[in-house]
Amino acid sequence: MKYAENILETIGNTPLVKINRLTKELPCLVLAKYETFNPGNSTKDRMAVKMIEDAEADGRLKPGGTIIEGTSGNTGMGLALAAIVKGYKCVFVISDKQSKEKMDILRAVGAEVVVCPTDVEPTDPRSYYSVSKRLAEETPNSWYVNQYDNPSNALAHYESTGPEIWEQTDGKITHFVVGVGTGGTISGVGKYLKEQNPDIKIWGIDTYGSVFKKYHETGVFDEKEIYPYVTEGIGEDILPKNVDFSIIDGFTKVTDKDAAIYTQRLAKEEGMFLGNSAGAAIKGVLQLKEHFTKEDVVVVLFHDHGSRYVAKMFNDDWMRKMGYKD
C-alpha cells in the first residue's frame, strides 16, 4: 500500500503547468510551479517544516513549546500543520490588511491569532514585527520563528523547490520569476539554479510601496518608497536577511490594480484559482516580455490558493470599491 505517514510527507513535488492564454503574446514557453498542491495550499509549507525541524535539532524548539511568528497567513498555515503533527501550540501575529479568510483558516487549525495595524513603522511597538518579538519574550517555552531572517527558510527552497524545477524542466529553464516577500523562495531556488547553470536569470516581482527594486538597483534604502499597498505576500518595508540580492538579476514592480485584475484573469482564463501574488507574478512576466526569446523556458512560481481571497480579489463589489473594476 502507498500512503503518507502524516500530512507533512505530502509536501513538495508540486507540478509544473503550462500557461496558455495569458501568455500567448510571449515568444517563450511559460510554466507555472503550482505550489497550491502542498497540503497547506502554499509554498510556505516547505520552509515552515524545515524551520521547525532545524529548531528542534539545535534545541531552540523544545517539546510542548509554543511557536510564535508574524505571518501574512501562509507561513502560519504551514507552521500550524507541522505543530499539530509534532505537538506544539501556535500564536500567529498578522496585519489587519490580510484577508479575513487567512485569519479564519489559521484559527481553524488551532492557532491563536493576534491582529495588528498595517500602517505603522516596523519599529512601532504595535507593528506585527514588534508584537511577535514581545510575545516570544513573554511566553514561557516559546520559539520565535522569524522567517525573514531565519536561514532555514531559503535553505528549504535550495533543497527542494530548486531541484524539483531543474529536474522537471530537464535543465532547460532559462528564467525563474517569483514574488519576493521574505526572500526565501527567490534566494533558495535562485542559488540552486545558478549553481546548475549561471546563465539562468532570476527575476523578482515587487510591488509599489516596497523597497526591494530601488535597493537592488541603487543600494539605497529609500524610505520614500515605503507606503501602504494592497497586494498581499510580496514586497517589504524592511530588508530581510533571506533576500540575497546578489542572486537576483532584476525586479519589476506590479501595481495593486494589475495584481488584482490578473488574479481574476488566471482563474477565468486559465482555470488557475490562485492568490493575489500570482496575479502580480504573471503580470510581471508579461512586463518582462522583451527579455524572452522563442527558445526560452520561463518558470513562474505561484505561491498560494484563491480560497484565501474570496472576499477581496474574487469579489466584484470589493474590486469596484477599490477602483479596479468599472
Per residue, what are the HEC states of 98-111? Answer: CCHHHHHHHHHCCC
Contact assessment for residue 205 and residue 251, using Cβ atoms and an 8 Å cutoff: yes
Quote the crossing angle between the two packed helices 44-57 and 74-86, to the nearest 10°.
Answer: 50
Domain boundaries, the chain: 7-42+151-321, 44-144
CA-wise closest residue to 303 among 30, 79, 8, 75: 75
| Ranges of residues in the chain whose predicted pLDDT is under 70 | none
CATH level 3 topology of 44-144: Rossmann fold (3.40.50)
For the stretch 271-321, pLDDT in tens is: 999 999 999 999 999 999 999 999 999 999 999 999 999 999 999 999 999
pLDDT score of 174: 98
Catalytic residue of the set 18, 24, 33, 44? 44
289 is catalytic: no
pLDDT score of 101: 87
For residue 274, the tally of other CB atoms under 10 A from its CB is 28
Cα 11 to Cα 64: distance, rounded to the nearest angstrom:
23
pLDDT score of 73: 86
For the stretch 195-226, pLDDT in tens is: 999 999 999 999 999 999 999 999 999 999 99
Task: Give Cβ neighbours of residue 306 (< 8 Å, ≥ 6 apart).
Answer: 263, 267, 273, 274, 275, 313, 314
Cα 190 to Cα 200: distance, rounded to the nearest angstrom:
9
Percentage of the chain modeled with pLDDT above 70: 100
Percentage of the chain modeled with pLDDT above 90: 92
Q: Do domains 7-42+151-321 and 44-144 have the same CATH topology?
A: yes
Structure-block grid coordinates of residue 59: 534545541
Structure-block grid coordinates of residue 11: 509536501
pLDDT score of 45: 98
pLDDT score of 219: 97
213 phi-psi bin (left φ>0, alpha ψ -120 to 50, beta other): alpha
The architecture in CATH of the region 7-42+151-321 reads 3-Layer(aba) Sandwich (3.40)
Quote the crossing angle between the two packed helices 100-108 and 74-86, to the nearest 10°.
Answer: 0
pLDDT score of 304: 96
What kind and span of H or E run contains 26?
none
pLDDT score of 169: 98
The pTM of the full predicted model, rounded to 2 decimals, is 0.95
What kind and span of H or E run contains 169?
none
